[in-house]
Structure 1
C-alpha cells in the first residue's frame, strides 16, 4: 500500500454537537467531490448512527428508481463506489482501521467516537488519531464542557508521549446569524487564552444539515452515498470547511 492514511475524528463529549453529521458531510465531500479515498469507522456504541444511515441510504438507493439512477450516474462519472462504513467499537476501532488500510489505499479514515474520556478504550482510540476537531456552539454549558474535553486531550493524552496526535482544533457549529458577534468575540478570547486553535470556517445553524434521502426526492444534503447537493452547498460552508482542513493537513485541493 502506498498511501499513509490520516486518522481524523470530529469529537466532543457533548451529545447533539453535530460531530456525526460533520463526519458524514466532510467524508462524503472528500470522497465524492474531491476525489480522495475515504473510510469511516463507526464506534459510537450503541447507536452506530453512521452505520444505520448507510443502511437507510442503501435501502433507498436499491429500492427507489430516482436514487438508483443517481447512484449509477455517480458511479459512471467517478468510477468509484461508496466509501466503507465499518461498524466497530472503541476497543476494536484502531485494529479495524489498520485492517482495512492494510487491504486497500485510503487517504482519510474518519472515526465516530463516543463522547467520553472516562473509558480507557476511548482514550486509546483518541491517542491514535492524527487530528481531532471538536465542534462547539455559543452555549456556555456546551463550550465549557468541550473546553474541558480538549484540555484532557491536550494536557493528558497528547502529552503522554505515546500519542500520534499532530493537531487539535475547535470549529464553530450551528452558528445563529442573529446572535451578536460580540458574544463570539468573548468566547474566542477565552479559547485563545487557553491556547487552542480555532478553525476560521464556521457552520451555520440550518435545517438543510438534517436533509437526507427521502421519498419526496428533494435535493440531498446529508448522505453516505452522495455528496451534499450543489443547490444546497452554498452558504453551508461545508466546501470551505473541507478546503480549510485540506490546507491544514497540507493535502492537495482537488476541486
Structure 2
C-alpha cells in the first residue's frame, strides 16, 4: 500500500500529517510502516536522528531519499507483506521524478488551508496528479483550521475540491502538533486527530490483507 502525502505548496502540513498517520498505524493499528522522506527539508529524517540521540527509537523506519530513488525503493518495499509505505513529497510539481510516484500510489492525502494561495496550489496538485492517476482515492484534509475564524468561502472551496476527491474532517490549529515526534503523538491530540485517522483507516486501509 503506497500513500502519498503532498501539496504543491510548502508548509501545508505534509510532514506533520505523515508523522500522525505513521504513529497511528504503528501504535494503534499495529501495522508495518516505512516512511520515505522525499521532502527537500527532510525534517522527518532529522527528527528520527534526534530521537536516536535521545535514546528514543522511532516506531518505524524513515528513509531520506531523492525522487530518483523511488523505483528501486518501491520494488524492495513491495516484497514486504502488509507493508504500508508513506511518502512525504516535496512541495513542488516541476520534477519528472514525481511521475512514477503519482502513477504507483494507492491513496493520496492532501492537507490544505482555506486561504486563496493554498487552495490554488492544492487544485493544481490535484489536476496534475489526476491526469496521471485517476483511480487512487484523493482525500483533502483542511489543516490548521482556527475555530475563531469564519471561512466565508469554505463551502465553495470544498465543492471545487470534491470534483477530484473527498474532503475529510479538519484538523484544528493546535500548538500541541509541534510536539509530535517519530516515537509518539501527545495523548492530548488523539481526540483531535482520531476522527480523521479512523476515517482514513476504516475506509481505505482496513480491507487490506495484513496477515
TM over 0.5: yes
Distance 1:10 1:26 in 2: 10
Q: Please report how far the alpha carbon of residue 190 of structure 1 lies from its aligned counterpart in structure 2 after TM superposition.
A: 2.8
- Residue 94 and residue 201 in structure 1: after superposition, are their counterparts in 2 closer, same or farther (change >3 A)? farther
Q: Paired residue for 2:122?
A: 146
> Structure 1 residue 135 and structure 2 residue 111: aligned?
yes
- Residue 54 and residue 183 in structure 1: after superposition, are their counterparts in 2 closer, same or farther (change >3 A)? same
**Structure 1 residues not aligned, in runs of 5+:** 1-5, 72-80, 160-164, 212-221
Q: Please report how far the alpha carbon of residue 117 of structure 1 lies from its aligned counterpart in structure 2 after TM superposition.
A: 2.1
Asked if structure 2 preserves the Cα contact closer than 8 Å seen for 1:43 and 1:112, the reply is yes
Mapping of residues 23-42 of structure 1, within 5 Å? 23-42=18-37
Residue-pair matches, total: 208
Q: Please report how far the alpha carbon of residue 145 of structure 1 lies from its aligned counterpart in structure 2 after TM superposition.
A: 1.3
Q: Paired residue for 1:158?
A: 133
Secondary structure of the corresponding residue to residue 92 of structure 1: helix
- Residue 106 and residue 87 in structure 1: after superposition, are their counterparts in 2 closer, same or farther (change >3 A)? farther
Task: Provide the alpha-carbon RMSD of the alignment.
Answer: 2.0
Q: Please report how far the alpha carbon of residue 181 of structure 1 lies from its aligned counterpart in structure 2 after TM superposition.
A: 5.1
Q: Paired residue for 2:190?
A: 233
Q: Give the TM-score of the pair, scaled to structure 1.
A: 0.75
Q: Give the TM-score of the pair, scaled to structure 2.
A: 0.90
Q: Please report how far the alpha carbon of residue 114 of structure 1 lies from its aligned counterpart in structure 2 after TM superposition.
A: 1.0
Asked if structure 2 preserves the Cα contact closer than 8 Å seen for 1:39 and 1:106, the reply is no
Distance 1:96 1:120 in 2: 17
Asked if structure 2 preserves the Cα contact closer than 8 Å seen for 1:117 and 1:123, the reply is no
> Structure 1 residue 190 and structure 2 residue 190: aligned?
no
Structure of greater Rg = 1
- Residue 120 and residue 187 in structure 1: after superposition, are their counterparts in 2 closer, same or farther (change >3 A)? same
Q: Paired residue for 1:48?
A: 42
Of residues 53, 61, 74, the one that matches 1:59 is 53
Secondary structure of the corresponding residue to residue 97 of structure 2: helix
Mapping of residues 63-102 of structure 1, within 5 Å? 82-102=59-79
Q: Paired residue for 1:207?
A: 175
Distance 1:97 1:57 in 2: 26
Q: Paired residue for 1:14?
A: 9
Asked if structure 1 preserves the Cα contact closer than 8 Å seen for 2:113 and 2:145, the reply is yes
Q: Which runs of 4+ in 1 moved over 3 A?
A: 104-107
